[in-house]
């Protein structure tokens, strides 16, 4: 199965998914929609809440063998559809590093939870487990107070800065 990137209205990704599923309720077309999300702890007015936010805001991934004319027309008619990447005439499936990045988030069930990390004696981050594992070389900024690591990923010739949450484990809690 190949994955194609679809650009949709930012913040309206769930509406697009619901509309696509409703219009394909008899399963005439064979495809799946992947919407990778992340959990971030957000402190507001002294209270910490966990929010679910998209990893790639405004982008969804369509899993199918090929984009047929019927599938293209079906997706195009859904609310919030903008375009396929790199263009509508020749949509290309993800391959190489782009596919590896998407697979990294799919492997956690599409929901990137809070990573478990420790800091070494030189104050460098070391990921024990979670979605940040394997992305250590792409971390550009760490905010210990907020518990976030900013990761810069290059997908489809576009650089994305993504904040992923982490929890600091003490040395004795390390597995």
**CA pair distance 2, 8, nearest whole angstrom:** 19
State residue 12's pLDDT score.
94
Kindly state the DSSP code that residue 3 receives in the 8-state scheme. Answer: E
**CA pair distance 103, 32, nearest whole angstrom:** 14
C-alpha pair distances (Å), 55 with each of 11, 36, 121, 140: 12, 6, 31, 16
State residue 38's pLDDT score.
93
- 4 closest CA partner among 89, 75, 67: 67
CB 161 within 8 A of CB 140: yes
Which residues does the chain have with pLDDT short of 70?
Answer: 171-175
Q: What is the pTM of this model?
A: 0.86
- Alpha helices by DSSP H, listed for 5-125, are 13-23, 69-76, 97-106
State residue 135's pLDDT score.
87
Q: What is the DSSP track for 30-57?
A: --EEE--EEEEEEEETTEEEEEEEESST
- Going along the chain from its start, the domains and CATH numbers come out as 2-173 (3.30.70.940)
State residue 174's pLDDT score.
53
State residue 80's pLDDT score.
94
């Amino acid at each position: 199965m190949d994955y194609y990137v679809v650009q949709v209205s930012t913040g309206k990704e769930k509406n697009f998914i619901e509309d696509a599923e409703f219009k394909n309720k008899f399963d005439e077309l064979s495809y799946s929609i992947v919407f990778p999300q992340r959990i971030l702890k957000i402190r507001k007015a002294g209270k910490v809440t966990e929010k679910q936010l998209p990893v790639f805001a405004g982008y969804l991934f369509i899993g199918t063998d090929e984009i047929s004319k019927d599938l293209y027309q079906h997706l195009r008619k859904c609310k919030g559809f903008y375009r396929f990447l790199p263009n509508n005439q020749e949509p290309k499936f993800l391959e190489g590093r782009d596919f590896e990045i998407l697979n990294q988030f799919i492997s956690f069930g599409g929901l990137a939870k809070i990573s478990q990390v420790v800091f070494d004696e030189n104050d460098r981050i070391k990921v024990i487990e979670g979605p940040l594992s394997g992305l250590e070389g792409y971390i550009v900024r760490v905010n210990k107070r907020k518990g976030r690591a900013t990761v810069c990923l290059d997908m489809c010739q576009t650089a994305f800065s993504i904040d992923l949450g982490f929890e600091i484990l003490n040395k004795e809690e390390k597995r």
